[in-house]
Structure 1
Amino acid sequence: MNYQLDFTPVIDGLPNLLLGCLGTFLLALCGMALAIVIGIGGVALRDSPIKILRWSVIGFVEVIRNTPFLVQIFFLYFALPFAGIRLEPTPTAIIALGINGGAYAIEIIRGGVQSIPKGQMEAGLALGLHKVQVFRLIILKPALRAIYPSLTSQFVLLTLSTSIASAISAYELTSVAQRIESDSFRSFEVYFTVTIFYLVISWLMMRLFALFSARYFTYPVK
């Protein structure tokens, strides 16, 4: 085998790869923000006294967690136009990431909420706080502190899942790499470099999550 390594196409395409990294970051952050909204809202509805809301959340979680992410993103991009809903690749990817991450976030956050003693909730109500205030001030933050490692691990996986968005031509790192590889046929060099980039992205996300945890979720030192 006389394969000669040649990283010239990778070096020439480095600006586009860096822009692809930025696209990956933006997709991930927007998907995470939507996932948090879905997760918190889903937990609130999951414990609703209205049965149809509870079962809707349960059904949503089961459907999303038991179907492949690729199928979900294809459904949004290719099937919804038949219902008159047409989305561009990037918004489709963000919505798909948010929905997928939200389904997992619901169960993770719900586990944290259930870990809060009921006595704390009752004490908040006894002090005259509204149920929304009790949920936000007494339940949510301690619950998030408890499940933060699990939630951030899920979000790192969500960040890596942005690569699947290349299947609908959303602008992110893998889609840029595919274009460079198809033009140069230097598969090893391109995907070796992309692997390094994803490792760096994952490390940066974990560092950001660690800094956020130190800022908002650590207990004050006495």
Structure 2
Amino acid sequence: MATTHSAEKVYLHYDKSSYYAGETIWFKAYLMEGIFPAAQTKTLYVDWIDEKGTVLSHTVSPVVDAATNGQFDVPAEYKGDFVHVRAYTKWMLNFDTAFLYSKDIRILPKEASSKKTLAAVTPSLQLFPEGGDIVAGVINKIAFKANDQYGRPVKIKGRLLDNKGTALQSFSSVHDGMGSFVFIPQAGTNYTVKWTDEKNVEHTVPLPQAKVSGVSMQVAPDEERRIITV
């Protein structure tokens, strides 16, 4: 009996939200086929493209247990405002190009690097549901990354609150402004993250509302492998 393979989907997480020319962009990638890890795929291809559509670099990363990582060195003399990232597997090329991973990463001007010590620091917090979506009724792992307007990591601590103001979780960054927390969201409930930066200034970020159905993925490191729970 013939086996039907659905379209794959790639999720990329970066070590920062913006970079200077000459810096290295580090990423981790997870591959899914429907609601399951993409077991058959062994290679991830990533195109790094400038604003004119020219491919600056084509990187190839081996996939093990539906996960991989890689890097791209932004050219030291790069003048563009962003680098476009396009990631895909060979199997994804059999489907519409809308299935390919696509993202613009901001590249900061060099003059900002020399002036950054004079400007006021404006921290921000990014939230990343590990499976791409927040799904009601199951355990969800939310990774976060805090950095300033120049991409430098910021140490934070915070709490997860429900719509009644009840604190459900406390968390703090572990390294480079990054960390994670887990919780079980309820359908129809709004959740908010309240966090304080290194200067003890409080900020508020709403979580996207949980979906009634979807894919919730957790990746747990083991001694010699990654354990992926879907």
Task: State the TM bucket, normalised to the shorter chain.
Answer: under 0.3
| Greater share of strand | 2
Name the structure where helix makes up a greater proportion of residues: 1
For normalisation by structure 1, the TM-score amounts to: 0.26
User: Normalising by the residue count of structure 2, what TM-score does the alignment of the two structures yield?
Assistant: 0.26
Relative contact order: is structure 1 or structure 2 higher (C-alpha 8 Å, sep ≥ 6)? 1
- Look at both structures and tell me which one has the larger radius of gyration over its CA atoms: 1
